[in-house]
Amino acid sequence: MVKNKEKIWAIGDLHGHYWELTRLWKKLLKAGLDIDQDTIVFLGDYVDGGPDTRKVVNWLIKMEKKCKNMICIYGNHCDLMLDALVYQGVIYNNYYLWYGQGGKETVSSYVLEDLIPYERALVKPEDVIPKKHLDWLKSRPMYYETDKYFFVHAGLVPGMTIEKHKDDVQNGNSETKLTLIQEMLWTRDRFIDSKYDWGKKVIFGHTTMKKPFIMDNKIGIDGMFHNHGQLVAVELPEEKFYFQGSRD
């Protein structure tokens, strides 16, 4: 666990926005981010929607090797993509649920730029997306916690303790585990509206908002919807926010 005195930087959903990511990163470095000492938490959804998923995933894999304490947690779009391309639809049973929600843009980011539109339309995702990237997405943790904060992609179940969440994810039967994982990846209103005290402040992404969502028990920092909005980061424990607007 991270000690109280150590600084934490959480970064919201990237969704294939490499241009915005690299510029936000420079702002964080200028603001004092220390890649050797600080903890950096990305809140999931590195793929789908934006134009540069391939570049984003390559960058994250590279930076993990440079940053001592960098955590990239699992998001619902990671789940959609893996279900469509690796798990044979056992979770969502619908390839186009992924492809139509940003998967098309993800595939395009892996296709050679010199192909004509007709050739690009014939490309199969499994032929261009490297196994290394899929394996990296598969290995993302469901959550990360410190003594004061709990980081998760979408949220938690009101009334259920953090310890219960962790136990069910790690030790629950397959049905219980899958149900809870789906909650942690997809939940919105009942979590966001809840004033339940989980004992730690929950830092989350997933639900896009025009500005950071702040309550006593949670902070939401997803500000980018496809190519509109802004990437958001928060410096903890100061709760200072940083923004990078969309290029488009």
Residue recorded with tokens 């005195």: 5
The one-letter code for the residue type at 168 is D
Q: What angle do CA 80, 93, 133 make, to 5 degrees?
A: 30
Distance CA 74, CA 86 (A): 16
Distance CA 184, CA 151 (A): 10
Query: What are the tens digits of pLDDT across the range 89-106?
Result: 999 999 999 999 999 999
Query: What are the tens digits of pLDDT across the range 221-233?
Result: 999 988 889 999 9
Instruction: For the beta carbon of residue 230, count every other beta carbon within 10 angstroms.
Output: 18
Predicted confidence at residue 207, as pLDDT, reads 97
The phi, psi pair for 8, rounded to 5°, reads -125, 140
Q: Where do the domains of the chain lie?
A: 12-245
Query: What are the tens digits of pLDDT across the range 49-85?
Result: 999 999 999 999 999 999 999 999 999 999 999 999 9
Predicted confidence at residue 168, as pLDDT, reads 95
pLDDT band at 169 (very low <50, low <70, confident <90, very high): very high
pLDDT band at 115 (very low <50, low <70, confident <90, very high): low
Does the pTM surpass 0.85? The reply is yes
Rounded to an integer, the average pLDDT of 231-239 is: 98
Query: Which residue in 26, 54, 59, 44 sits closest to 186, CA to CA?
Result: 44
pLDDT band at 120 (very low <50, low <70, confident <90, very high): low
Predicted confidence at residue 143, as pLDDT, reads 98
Rounded to an integer, the average pLDDT of 129-148 is: 97
**What architecture is domain 12-245?**
4-Layer Sandwich (3.60)
Residue recorded with tokens 């993509």: 81
